């Protein structure tokens, strides 16, 4: 028996865009375009009659904008939504608002001429991720977060570094984690599967609410305490140890796991140069990106943490890492900030102890705690 196809409703006021998205999706044997709508009012009626599994949704539309429609939809008939928005600063900010309002994923329109081209594969992957997503209530804006504590007397080892990777559902998960982390931690490197321009807007929004600086990475950036760097969309991000500190290296090598940036690129590079000084977290996401890299990190002595199934939007990437035996701790999202801080402190003590005893500079691995 053939598996049930994912039924998609395409909502966009441009007939060119509707055709391009429909054509790209129709080429995937696991996806069926159930219908297209030119505005939210058409979409409302078609949702009732077609009962689609996933919507692709434009943000800038006449009569009712996509963000307003999203909020109404998620309140009265929750449905997985992939936002397809213009690659502009304004479009990016509104797309992030849509993710906060309950959209599962976001994808950029390639340009005014609008040929989807190579982005068709990414679109299909995002639709598949949305189809299996666990929908959750939209986060309340400006909700205060309880931050994990860090004593001012803590002396970090310059080799320490924190690494985070996420995909589907990751923008909100990362925001939840980062908003609960204190200032003064080792430098943080973040790979979120996100298109160009959106990554800069995402970093800027985090910078408004976090206790430390957050910004989009630039090749050659020094990774230092009190700074979190987000990989730019369409660029892999790696780290290297250079003249007493870590630096960022960006490149546009081939996509991995259908995406660029890829979490594995960051994790693999850190396994080679940071080893047991690294603390890595793998959050919600479709697919298996980051699992192999996390396995290398664990083998090198790093502390490895994965989000648990119950709190993931899509339990794909963390599951793959768990199945590889690459994870020390499997935790609910709310427990991950405290676990990151604890792992940093434990490795700080181990590093100083090792230095004082003139033994290996690799801190001891922590026992599994799930």
Q: Catalytic site residues?
A: 167, 193, 289
Closest CA to 327 of 343, 341, 348: 343
> Three-state DSSP class for 203?
helix
205 φ/ψ angles, rounded to the nearest 5 degrees = -70, -40
CA distances in angstroms from 37 to 9, 12, 43, 50, listed in the order given: 7, 6, 5, 12
- Evaluate whether 320 touches 291 at the Cβ level (below 8 Å): yes
Please tell me the number of Cα atoms within 13 Å of 363 on its side-chain side: 28
- Reported in sequence order, the residue ranges of the chain that DSSP labels E, i.e. its strands, are 6-11, 31-37, 54-57, 81-86, 105-109, 161-166, 188-192, 213-216, 222-223, 227-230, 236-242, 245-251, 278-282, 303-307, 329-331
Closest CA to 314 of 337, 343, 292, 285: 285
- Evaluate whether 208 touches 240 at the Cβ level (below 8 Å): no
- Evaluate whether 213 touches 369 at the Cβ level (below 8 Å): no
- Evaluate whether 258 touches 287 at the Cβ level (below 8 Å): yes
By the 10 Å C-beta count (0-12 exposed, 13-18 middle, 19+ buried), 206 is classed as buried
The Cα–Cα gap between 112 and 276 comes to 47
**Helix (H) and strand (E) counts in the chain:** 11, 15
- Return the sign of the alpha-carbon dihedral for residues 203, 208, 214, 217: positive
- Evaluate whether 98 touches 40 at the Cβ level (below 8 Å): no
- Evaluate whether 274 touches 247 at the Cβ level (below 8 Å): no
């Amino acid at each position: 028996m053939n598996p049930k196809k994912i039924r998609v409703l395409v909502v966009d006021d441009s007939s060119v865009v509707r055709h391009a998205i429909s054509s790209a999706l129709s080429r995937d044997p696991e996806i069926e375009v159930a219908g297209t709508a030119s505005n939210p009012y058409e979409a409302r009626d078609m949702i009732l009659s077609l009962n689609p599994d996933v919507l692709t949704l434009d943000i800038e539309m006449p009569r009712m904008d996509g963000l307003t429609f999203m909020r109404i939809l998620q309140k009265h008939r929750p449905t997985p939504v992939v936002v397809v928005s213009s690659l502009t600063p304004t479009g990016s900010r509104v797309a992030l608002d849509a993710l906060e309002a309950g959209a599962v994923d976001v994808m950029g329109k390639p340009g005014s001429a609008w040929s989807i081209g190579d982005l068709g594969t990414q679109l299909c992957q995002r639709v598949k991720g949305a189809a299996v997503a666990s929908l959750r209530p939209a986060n309340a804006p400006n909700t205060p977060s309880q931050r994990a504590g860090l004593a001012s007397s803590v002396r970090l080892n310059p080799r320490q570094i924190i690494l985070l990777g996420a995909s589907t559902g990751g923008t909100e998960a990362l925001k939840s984690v980062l908003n609960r982390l204190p200032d003064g931690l080792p430098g943080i490197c973040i790979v979120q599967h996100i298109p160009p321009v959106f990554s800069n807007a995402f970093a800027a929004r985090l910078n408004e609410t976090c206790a430390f600086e957050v910004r989009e990475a630039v090749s050659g950036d020094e990774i230092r305490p009190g700074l979190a760097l987000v990989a730019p969309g369409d660029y892999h991000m790696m780290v290297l140890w250079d003249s007493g500190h870590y630096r960022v290296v960006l490149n546009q090598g081939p996509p991995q796991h259908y995406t660029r940036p890829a979490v594995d690129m960051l994790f693999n590079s850190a396994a080679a140069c940071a080893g047991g000084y690294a603390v890595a977290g793998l959050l919600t996401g479709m697919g298996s990106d980051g699992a192999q890299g996390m396995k290398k990190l664990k083998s090198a002595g790093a502390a490895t943490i994965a989000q648990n199934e119950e709190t993931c939007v899509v339990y794909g990437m963390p599951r793959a890492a768990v199945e590889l035996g690459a994870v020390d701790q499997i935790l609910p999202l709310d427990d991950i900030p405290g676990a990151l801080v604890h792992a940093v402190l434990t490795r700080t003590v181990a590093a100083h102890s090792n230095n004082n005893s003139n033994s290996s500079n690799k801190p001891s691995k922590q026992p599994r705690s799930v």
